[in-house]
Amino acid sequence: MSRRILIVLAVLLIAGGILLDSSLFIVSQTETALVLQLGQPRRVILDPGLNVKRPFVEDVVMYDKRVLDFEPPHEEVIVSDQKRVVVDSYSRYRITDPLLFYQTVGTEAGVRARLAAIVSGSLRRVLGNVTLSDILSAKRAGIMIQIRDEVAAQAKEFGVQVVDVRLRRADLPEENSQAIYARMVSERQQQASQYRGEGAEAAQTVRANAERERTVILAEAQRDAQRVRGDGDAQAIKLYADAYGQDKAFFAFYRSLQAYRAALTGRDTSFVLSPDSSFFRFFGGPSGTGLPSPAPTPAPAPAQH
């Protein structure tokens, strides 16, 4: 008898545990709960804590109420200056109305698919009215705000609040990047050639100015040298003249000695001169009268008829 009672108690405890487990559920601080009865929403639980539901009849769907991230696929957009741009964006949202969220999209995967379409359309509309330079400038913040406002307005119908939409990267397509890179290389080479030409022209100008200054300096130096040499020659001539004027005989003797030294120094020097030439007049003495005077030439005899 006691064994049957134990079995019944055990069965009751097990059944009570199963019933209790299917009746109680806990909502954490980061979640909201939606109670469904046979697939139909019955109530929304926003506050955390322990809650009760009808066992085997009602189900509970939990939604995260924190800010969630969503990264849509890359989009290739044509901006207003007819340039193709590959845009990489991300969005942040939170579920604010669990009931509306369940009725419209049901799950996070569903809302991500809907947000991807909304973000794509907003990107094309907004970026189609701006230029590439606007996206890469300080106007980018205003563009992102405009995209966020459009996406947020359309996402309200899903019970979702879009917190932020950001353009993480905006690049040109690969083929355009290569073409632009080649054009940049060509422009840099052209600028380099221009700078080299300007440098060569400036160098030529500097060389020409230096050559002109050199010519002027040399000419002035030669002029000054000629003037100094002329002054020196004039002073030398004056000194010679003064010395010659003081003692003409000594000066003639001194000049003749210089002439002898200059003329008779070489070993192979040969002279064909008359012994009584005036060149050798000082060989007989310092007075220059030591050599006999040349014999007079006889006068020619008168012609006979």
At 108-164, the pLDDT tens digits run 899 999 999 999 999 999 988 988 888 888 888 899 999 999 999 999 999 999 999
The domain total for the chain is 3
Give percent of the chain with pLDDT exceeding 70.
81
User: How high is the pLDDT of residue 286?
Assistant: 59
Domain, as residue range, for 77 = 68-172
pLDDT for residue 42 is more than 80: yes
For the segment 66-91, what is each residue's pLDDT rounded down to a tens digit?
999 988 888 888 888 888 888 889 89
CATH code, domain carrying 78: 3.30.479.30
Which pLDDT belongs to residue 91?
Answer: 92
Q: Are residues 165 and 104 in the same domain?
A: yes
- Residue where a domain stops, chosen among 162, 191, 208: 208
Residue 266 in any domain: the answer is no
Query: Is 158 in the same domain as 90?
Result: yes
Question: Does 96 lie in the same domain as 50?
Answer: no
- For residue 268, being part of any structural domain is answered with no
Answer with the residue of higher pLDDT: 121 or 238. 121
For 128, phi then psi, to 5°, come to -70, -10
In a shared domain, residues 52 and 115: no
pLDDT: which is higher, 295 or 140: 140
Q: What is the mean pLDDT of residues 46-69?
A: 87
pLDDT at 249 over 60: yes
Asked if 81 and 144 sit in the same domain, the reply is yes
Most confident of 18-22, 211-215, 231-235, 278-282: 211-215
First and final CA of the chain: distance in angstroms? 213
Within-domain flag for 217: no
Residues 149 and 193 in one domain: no
79 in any annotated domain: yes
With bands split at pLDDT 50, 70 and 90, how would you rate the model's confidence at 289?
Answer: low
72 and 54 housed in the same domain: no
| Residue 265 pLDDT greater than 90, yes or no | no
* DSSP string for the chain: -HHHHHHHHHHHHHHHHHHHHHHEEEE-TTEEEEEEETTEEEEEE-S-EEEE--TTTEEEEEEE-S-EEE-PPPEEEE-TTS-EEEEEEEEEEEE--HHHHHHHT-SHHHHHHHHHHHHHHHHHHHHTTS-HHHHTSTTHHHHHHHHHHHHHHHHGGGTEEEEEEEEEEEE--HHHHHHHHHHHHHHHHHHHHHHHHHHHHHHHHHHHHHHHHHHHHHHHHHHHHHHHHHHHHHHHHHHHHHHHHH-HHHHHHHHHHHHHHHHS-STT------TTSGGGTTSS-TTS--SPPPPPPPPPPPPP-
What confidence category does residue 290 fall into, taking pLDDT thresholds of 50, 70 and 90?
low
Which among 91-100, 242-251, 262-271 has the top mean pLDDT?
91-100
Same domain, 112 and 166: yes
Do 134 and 183 reside in the same domain of the chain?
no
In a domain, 242, yes or no: no
247 in any annotated domain: no
Domain end point (choices 157, 188, 208): 208
Give mean pLDDT, residues 31-59: 86
Q: Is the residue at 199 inside a domain?
A: yes
Is residue 114 located within the same domain as residue 152?
Answer: yes
Q: Are 113 and 192 found together in one domain?
A: no
Domain assignment present for 91: yes
Same domain, 78 and 137: yes
**Percentage of the chain surpassing pLDDT 90?**
28
**How does pLDDT run across 161-206, given as a tens digit for each residue?**
999 999 888 877 776 667 677 788 888 888 999 999 999 999 999 9
